[in-house]
Amino acid sequence: MFVLALCAAACTGEGSPDPTQGTSTGDAEWTLLFNGRDLTGWTPKIRGHPAGEDPQGTFRVENGVLSVGYDAYDGPFDDRFGHLFHQTPRSDYRLRVEYRFVGEQMTGGPGWALRNSGVMFHSQSPQSMGDSQDFPISLEAQFLGGTGEGRRPTANLCTPGTHVTIQGTLETRHCIEADGPTIHGDAWVVVELEVLSDSIIRHYVDGELVLEYTNPVVGGGEVHGFDPAAKTDGAPLRSGYIAIQSESHPIEFRRIELLPLGDTS
């Protein structure tokens, strides 16, 4: 999503476990959302197409990694934003995502989308999105990669069609700064979210808390082409779908896993 100067930390993940194997924490089990083999349980939604269609193969599995690429696209990017949704809505959980930016941005991608991606959560379903809708009504943990100079941190918050509260104040800016360093190069980065329905949400990078906010609600702009019935301003966001983005810069995911903390929807 659109960029404000935002902040997070990262880790290289060089010692990360095999993404095809589950992990455990105490008595709780982390569940693999991405199985390392195929896209079972996931549904693409590309702008200009109905849910379930990805004619250019934007999302695919290569060598055990979930790759987001644009090599089969004809012409420029032309705002063909995409999202890949996991099939199960969730409300209370920890989500762990390991990603890295690779290659060059596709021709015609917007300037703000350079080394920019993210994971959407508390999202509307892909089936409820309009064919021409650009982004789902949701919260986004925004992933940014450094460009070799200046500050460009990761694990920020962007809010397509939503608002949150920070330190008791309703926050209506579209993107909110987190607290951490910029990550340059193609290192693997681990971001974790702690999501407690519509109460407290926290972003972590390399185990460090970088952002906390509360009371997510539907509201605001920065989303276009939606069905008005899907956007009830002021409604609390208590649960929703999880999705990864395609915004014109190639990115890879080698781990997407979830630890349930309560009800799943």
Task: Give me the pLDDT at residue 180, please.
Answer: 76
- Exposure letters 33-42 (e unless 16+ CB within 10 A, then b): bbbbeebeeb
Q: What is residue 24's predicted lDDT score, i.e. its pLDDT? A: 43
Please state whether the predicted TM-score (pTM) of the whole model is above 0.95: no
CATH class for the domain made up of 34-260? mainly beta
Question: Which residues lie closer than 8 Å to 26 by C-beta, 6 or more apart?
Answer: none
Instruction: Look at residue 263 in the predicted model and tell me its pLDDT.
Output: 58
- The 3 state secondary structure assigned to 117-183 is EEEEEEECCHHHCCCCCCCCCCEEEEEECCCCCCCCECCEEECCCEEEEECCEEECCCEECCCCCEC
Q: Residue 113: which residues within 8 A CB-CB, separation 6 or more?
A: 105, 247, 248, 249
The confidence score (pLDDT) of residue 28 equals 67
Residue % of the chain over a pLDDT of 90: 86
Residue 35 is predicted with a pLDDT of 98
Quote the DSSP letter at residue 65: E
pLDDT digits (tens, 9 = 90+) for 187-229: 999 999 999 999 999 999 989 999 999 999 999 999 999 999 9
Report domain extents, the chain. Answer: 34-260
Which of 181, 137, 123 minimizes the C-alpha distance to 156? 181
Beta-carbon-side half-sphere exposure of residue 88 (alpha carbons within 13 Å): 16
Q: Are 193 and 213 in contact (CB under 8 A)?
A: no
Which among 20, 31, 24 is positioned nearest to 242, based on CA atoms? Answer: 31
At 157, list the tokens.
Answer: 């918050």
**What is the sign of the dihedral through the CA atoms of 258, 188, 103 and 211?**
positive
Intervals of the chain under pLDDT 70: 1-28, 263-265
Q: Three-state SS for 253?
A: strand
Q: What is the pLDDT at residue 40?
A: 98
Q: What is the pLDDT of residue 262?
A: 77
Among the listed residues 197, 125, 195, 123, the one whose alpha carbon sits nearest the alpha carbon of residue 161: 123
